[in-house]
Amino acid sequence: MSADTPDIGFIGLGIMGTPMAGHLLAAGHKACVHTRSAVPESIRAAGATVCAHGREVAQRSDVVFLMLPDTPDVQQVLFGDDGVAAGLAPGKTVVDMSSISPVQTKTFARRVEALGCDYLDAPVSGGDVGARNATLSIMVGGKPEVFERIRPLLALMGRNITRVGGVGDGQTCKVANQIVVALTIGAVSEGLLFAARAGADPARVRQALLGGLATSRVLEILGERMLQRSVQPGFRIALHQKDLNLALESARALGLALPATAVAQQLFSACVAHGGSAWDHSGMVRALEQLSGFAIPEQPAA
């Protein structure tokens, strides 16, 4: 290992993790990888070493990245049989880029730090497009000196990289992000549905809105998916529901009212009831279409 090119471990090679790990490999880092399903051929072809479990990844790496679906997955990968913790040695670093519970994150960090290692929580926003283009927004919690040391690696996967605060604060920021994204999906859905039902061309309405105060990445990327009637993820509704559950559970504990978040969660639940748990989260529009008895006509791809 050198200070400039630490050996990397990457666990979780799904829609997001595969391109993220690919960027690290393309930058010249040795990488050991592990995932529940088959390792993508693109990762093998880039020279990654496939490991049997998290313990082996940790043993062979200086920095271990995690990109997993939910809190129990992170707990199992870190502390289960043949987990990452069993392969850690003092001086190594764990960077969890999953979107999970801020409370559990602090517990995980304490257990890793007790082994003489460092821990960052670094959830991301930007979806599959941001992962492929290395333009993710990365929200980091952890010690400033650890953040600065790991930042060059994060910069290979994203652009807007912000240390929000201590361990767990990155996850809190991500929950806030998911509230805003879910509510924006609802707003874009209602706006395009209204325009189409009123007889306007929703594609031209979207184009006009992109030039004004209503513009957003949700309108740009997910609005196009709504118009093309595509539910190919992206970011699955089931995962966004998980994030909103974290928001609503935390809100109850904090004594907060988040009524719009609760409505967004119910719209996602309506999609799931129609078989849409694996739809892209832009599929929320279909729940509103069901309520209205009207669907936005499919638009040709741009």
Residue among 30, 92, 106, 174 flagged as catalytic:
174
Host H or E run for residue 118: strand 118-121
What pLDDT sits at residue 3? 53
What pLDDT sits at residue 301? 72
What pLDDT sits at residue 302? 62
What pLDDT sits at residue 260? 98
* 126 backbone dihedrals φ, ψ, rounded to 5°: 135, -10
Single pTM value for the model: 0.90
Residues in the chain with pLDDT values less than 50 = 1-2
> Does residue 242 carry a catalytic annotation?
no
d(CA 132, CA 98): 16
User: Which parts of 80-201 fold into alpha helices (H)?
Assistant: 102-113, 127-133, 144-154, 169-197
What pLDDT sits at residue 4? 66
CA torsion, ordered 241, 286, 18, 218, to nearest 10 deg? -90
What pLDDT sits at residue 1? 43
d(CA 132, CA 39): 17
